[in-house]
Amino acid sequence: MTHQKENASLETVQTAVTSQKVWFITGASRGFGRVWTDAALRRGDKVAATARKLESIADLKEQYGENVLILELDVTNPEQVKATVEQAHAHFGRLDIVLNNAGYSLVGTIEEASANDIRALYETNILGPVAVIQAALPLLRKQGGGHIIGTSSNLGHVTLPVIGYYASSKWAFEAIHESLAEEVKSFGIKVTIIEPGAYATEFGSQQSLKFAQGQDIYADFKQQFFGKLMQLERGDPHATPQALFQVVDAPQPPLRFFLGSQCLPWVREAYAERLATWEAWEEVSNSAQG
């Protein structure tokens, strides 16, 4: 009986060890990145947490000790990205989950935003995550698999005025990850796009927003838009970790996953409208086939 108990205990320990995951998370200082970093560490996982300013995540080391590695990272610096991903992998010996979360929103109409505004947005929201993915892929292939997760938005399917460039970055983000999923499937690497709706995070704070230089002609329109935006019901970000864990723990995680109850109805309506338009013009479209 004692021998059986020892075997059972050993099996329990082995299961606990093999189920423990190692995360690499960008944008871990606030918003979803901070919530998910804390939650992963609390459940016993290990996390390489990154942020532009190391002092913004220094308290993680004090709280979680050896289970967390804090690293300074500007995702718009490809050389730093590569070195940081490799450092995290070498430190923990593997990376099970690579979570691209860093990003911000550009506020401004299509006419107002400058080329520099748009370029900076894409550097962070698109090229930054791509740099992380490209740095991680050789390591994930060598270790025999992994899970790449990208934080997108329900605005990766629909869009709104005034934040159209932000939405466009998420549309590109979605396409990149969908292509990636097919390209790396044979290597045992999984890909999931997390698509949150409106949440009460710091994403709407001054640190996560950049404003294009405004034009008076749009002032009334933007005032009305922001008035409607403020009325949106926002979800609790601290309610999201268990849903995220179900995705990362699933043997076959989904390519796309909505966070919150508002996303699917909005996207369902948008796609129904698109289909109706395409079908209404189907005869004309077909006539152009030749």
Rg (CA), the chain: 21
Global pTM reads: 0.90
Q: Which of 46, 170, 190, 222 is catalytic?
A: 170
Give catalytic status of residue 199 as yes or no: no
Give catalytic status of residue 166 as yes or no: yes
Question: How far is the C-alpha of 124 from the C-alpha of 114, rounded, in Å?
Answer: 16
Q: Are 157 and 109 in contact (CB under 8 A)?
A: no
Q: Which of 152, 153, 168, 169 is catalytic?
A: 152
As given in the structure block, the two tokens for residue 91 are 């430190």
Q: State the average pLDDT over residues 10-32.
A: 72
Give catalytic status of residue 152 as yes or no: yes
Domains and CATH numbers, the chain: 21-282 (3.40.50.720)
Give the pLDDT of residue 233. 79
Q: State the average pLDDT over residues 78-107.
A: 97
Number of Cβ atoms within 10 Å of the Cβ of 281:
10
Question: How far is the C-alpha of 219 from the C-alpha of 17, rounded, in Å?
Answer: 57
User: Which residues, in sequence order, are CB contacts of 203 under 8 Å at separation 6+?
Assistant: 31, 32, 105
Please report, for residues 57, 106, 196, the alpha-carbon distance to residue 34 in angstroms, rounded to integers and kept in the order given: 9, 21, 15
As given in the structure block, the two tokens for residue 264 are 């699917």
Q: 3-class DSSP state for residue 267? A: helix
Q: Which of 64, 104, 165, 166 is catalytic?
A: 166
pLDDT digits (tens, 9 = 90+) for 165-203: 999 999 999 999 999 999 999 999 999 999 998 887 765
